[in-house]
Structures are given as C-alpha cells and as structure tokens.
Chains A and B, each alone.
Chain A
Amino acid sequence: NAGVTQTPKFQVLKTGQSMTLQCAQDMNHNSMYWYRQDPGMGLRLIYYSASEGTTDKGEVPNGYNVSRLNKREFSLRLESAAPSQTSVYFCASSQQGAAVFSYEQYFGPGTRLTVT
C-alpha cells in the first residue's frame, strides 16, 4: 500500500498562474483533508471532505477550491496564485467510523509550492 500520495513534490509558479495539487489514498478512507504548513504557524486546515460528494471549508479556504473526484482522490486548486500561498501543502486521510479512529490522520509527503 502506498498510503497517501501527492503530486507534484515541488512547484514554482508565477503570480496569477493556476495549478492543481493532486492527492490519492489507497486505504479506503472516507475523509480527506488539505492543510498548509508555514513556519511559526503550524498546520492549518484549508478544506476537508468528510465523505465522497461533500466538501467543507476549513480555517484558511480563501484562494483555494477543492474537488473530491471519487473516494480515493481529493484535489486542491489555486485559481490565481499569490506569493502569500507559498507554503508546504499536505493532504491527509482518515477513516470514518468509531470516534477515536476517525481522528487518526495519515499524511502524504507534501507539495512544496513557491509563488514568485
């Protein structure tokens, strides 16, 4: 099992360009998440999908859109990139079910994005 995979690993964009970050999990998890991690700020939730067909905003959703393509895949789109979106982006998944285990999240290796 690969767990959670993310592509690309690195990306450099110019201000105003758009791009989509891809995430896939092979653990049959229902819930998926997108976070950004910035120095001194910790992990902040951008969007999440509790189950296939649903998405909800997290703490910092502005400037982003998401698509839950199917149970395995959850993509994050930057429509018009800004330097403030320079960050490391992590996708995670968790299993819905017994309360305790539904909170245990499994993370991908991250996408390092620089917007110039």
Chain B
Amino acid sequence: TQLLEQSPQFLSIQEGENLTVYCNSSSVFSSLQWYRQEPGEGPVLLVTVVTGGEVKKLKRLTFQFGDARKDSSLHITAAQPGDTGLYLCAGARYGGSQGNLIFGKGTKLSVKP
C-alpha cells in the first residue's frame, strides 16, 4: 500500500517557469518533510512542516502542509537548472516508531536552460 502519492512522477520544464509538486495521502501525519536528491547522492532535507496549514519559504521554494495534515505541496518559482533532481516527500505517522518515515516515490524534475 502506497501511503504517500507524489505527482507528477516526472516533470520537464524550461528555466524560468513555475511548478508545483504534490504529495497526497489518506493518512494523517504528525509532520512531513521534503528532501531533494541529486544523481549519485543521498537525499538532503529541505524542510519539515509540522502544523496544519503551515507555509514555509526557502528562497524560491514554498512548502505547504494541508489543513488536515494529509497532504503537502512544493512550489518552485522561476525554476533554475540547479533545481534539477528528485524531490521526495516523507511523512511521520502518529503512533509510528520514533524516527520512522514513510517516503513517497518522488518527482523527478528536469529544468532545461
């Protein structure tokens, strides 16, 4: 059972375009994280969202946690080639073993110059 669905799976855009990536679930999470993974490397944590409705900004990246804590989105403004990578969302379930995350399958983003 895939608890975290990410969409789209693949996204190829031109430099300067805006994009949104979605992470959806029927489960409620106590917190949700976004990671970025570049080819040949491990995932790197971008942000953790904790409160329903929370919005966090990291330069050109805006992260939102749904009011019901079941979904999240990542919006990138004016994408640059350096944003290319695999974006993973990961949720911490209530009652789950401490530190254990459920990962989505990822959105592979390619930004062409």
Residues of A with Cβ closer than 8 Å to B? Answer: 4, 31, 33, 40-45, 48, 50, 56, 58, 90, 92, 94, 96, 99-100, 102-110
User: What is the bound-complex CA distance between A99 and B100, given in angstroms?
Assistant: 11
Q: Does B48 contact A (CB under 8 A)?
A: yes
User: Bound state CA distance, A110 and B92, in angstroms?
Assistant: 23
Complex A-B, nearest 10 residue pairs according to Cβ-Cβ distance, in ascending order: A107-B42, A42-B105, A103-B92, A43-B103, A31-B99, A94-B99, A107-B43, A102-B99, A42-B103, A90-B42
Q: Which residues on the A side are within 8 Å of B42 (C-beta)?
A: 4, 90, 92, 107-110
A-B residue pairs in contact (CB < 8 Å), sample of 19: A31-B98, A41-B105, A42-B88, A42-B105, A43-B88, A50-B97, A50-B99, A100-B31, A100-B48, A103-B33, A103-B48, A103-B101, A104-B45, A105-B43, A105-B45, A109-B41, A109-B42, A110-B40, A110-B42
Pair count A-B, CB < 8 A: 68
Question: Nearest chain-B residue to A103 (Cβ)?
Answer: B92
Q: How far is B104's CA from A106's CA once the two chains are assembled, in angstroms? A: 17
Chief secondary structure at chain B's binding surface: loop
Whether the Cβ atoms of B97 and A56 lie closer than 8 Å is yes
Name which of A41, A99, A109 has the most chain B CB atoms within 10 A of its CB.
A99
A33 near B31 with CB under 8 A, answer no
Interface assignment of B44: CB less than 8 Å from any CB of chain A: yes
Q: Are A50's CB and B33's CB within 8 A? A: no
Whether A102 contacts B48 in the complex (CB less than 8 A), given A42-B103, A108-B42, comes out as no
Contact call A48/B48, Cβ cutoff below 8 A: no
Contacts A103-B31, A103-B33 given; does A110 touch B99 at CB 8 Å:
no
A96 touches B50 (CB 8 A): no
B-chain residues with CB within 8 Å of residue A94 when the two chains form the complex: 99
- Whole-angstrom distance between the Cβ of A1 and the nearest chain B Cβ: 15
User: What's the Cα separation between A44 and B2 when bound, in Å?
Assistant: 11
A56 to B98, CA, bound (A): 12
Q: Does B30 contact A (CB under 8 A)?
A: yes
The chain A residue sitting closest to B44, CB to CB, is: A107
Q: A43-B43, A106-B45 in contact; A48/B105 too (CB < 8 A)?
A: no
